[in-house]
């Protein structure tokens, strides 16, 4: 289910891109300076909006890379404006397009680590469930909450996007 979970993250990143588009139109209509959204926070000791978008992107990018034994391209985290943040989201979408189900065949038992863990490891299965999925949705929802709190017209349907549903039998 790894590939399917990442496919869903791609869908969510596509929704994120749409929220940023809506936020851009809102900022333009209100003549809000281009860097204002990037520095919004819900609490003074919380990462600002731009960093939340960057971490959302990195959680998906680094998760897919580590769980398939690939090296992800480093990105400089220099985005400040909404168009720059949209470009970041789109770059990660393009990166994730390069993965196929077979890349995750050995994922469950793979040994995963990252620099800040000081040598500690997690299995691929635990890393996906305990770290990648919760972190991805945590930062994604924080971005959404910041937009909602600051008057951008996004709603629950914009969060989920279109569901794969079958019409009732007639």
Q: How many Cβ atoms from other residues are within 10 Å of residue 159's Cβ?
A: 15
Using CB under 8 A as the binding rule, the residues of this chain from 86 to 105 that contact a second copy are none
Out of 14, 21, 121, 157, name the contact with a second copy by CB under 8 A: 121
CB of 115 to a second copy, least distance (A): 13
Span interacting with a second copy, options 16-24, 27-35, 84-92, 134-142, rule CB under 8 A = 134-142
Consecutive H or E run containing 41 = none
DSSP-derived 3-state class of residue 48: coil
Q: Could you tell me which stretch among 19-27, 30-38, 86-94, 128-136 binds a second copy (CB under 8 A)?
A: 128-136
Contact between 115 and a second copy (CB under 8 A)? no
Q: Of 43, 92, 93, 100, give the one whose Cα is nearest residue 68.
A: 100
The owner of tokens 């469950």 is 108
Q: Would you say 16 and 143 are in contact if contact means Cβ atoms under 8 Å apart?
A: yes
Of 22 and 135, the one with the shorter C-beta distance to a second copy is: 135
Rounded to the nearest whole angstrom, what is the least distance from the CB of residue 73 to a second copy in the complex?
Answer: 25
Question: In the set 71, 120, 157, 158, which binds a second copy (CB under 8 A)?
Answer: 120
Does the protein bind a second copy through residue 5 (CB under 8 A)? Answer: yes
Element (H, E) at 112: strand 111-112
Cα separation of 11 and 93, whole Å? 9
Q: Which two tokens stand for residue 13?
A: 């990143």
Answer for the pair 145, 155: CB distance below 8 angstroms, yes or no.
no
Binding residues for a second copy (CB under 8 A):
1, 4-5, 7-8, 11-12, 42-43, 46, 117-123, 125-126, 129-131, 133-135, 137-138, 141-142, 144-145, 148-149, 151, 156, 159-161, 163-168
């Amino acid at each position: 289910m790894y590939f399917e979970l990442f496919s869903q993250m791609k869908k969510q990143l596509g929704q994120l891109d749409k929220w940023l588009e809506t936020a851009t139109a809102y900022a333009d209509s209100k003549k809000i300076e281009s860097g204002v959204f990037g520095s919004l926070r819900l609490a003074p000791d919380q990462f600002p909006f731009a960093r939340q978008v960057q971490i959302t992107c990195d959680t998906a990018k680094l998760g897919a890379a580590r769980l398939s034994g690939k090296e992800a391209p480093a990105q400089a985290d220099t985005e400040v404006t909404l168009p720059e943040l949209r470009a970041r989201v789109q770059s990660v979408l393009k990166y994730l397009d390069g993965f196929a189900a077979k890349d995750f065949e050995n994922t469950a038992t793979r040994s995963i680590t990252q620099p800040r863990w000081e040598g500690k490891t997690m299995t691929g299965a635990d890393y996906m469930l305990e770290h990648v999925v919760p972190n991805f949705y945590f930062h994604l929802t924080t971005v959404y909450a910041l937009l909602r709190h600051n008057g951008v017209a996004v709603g629950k349907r914009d969060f989920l996007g279109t569901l794969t549903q079958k019409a009732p039998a007639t």
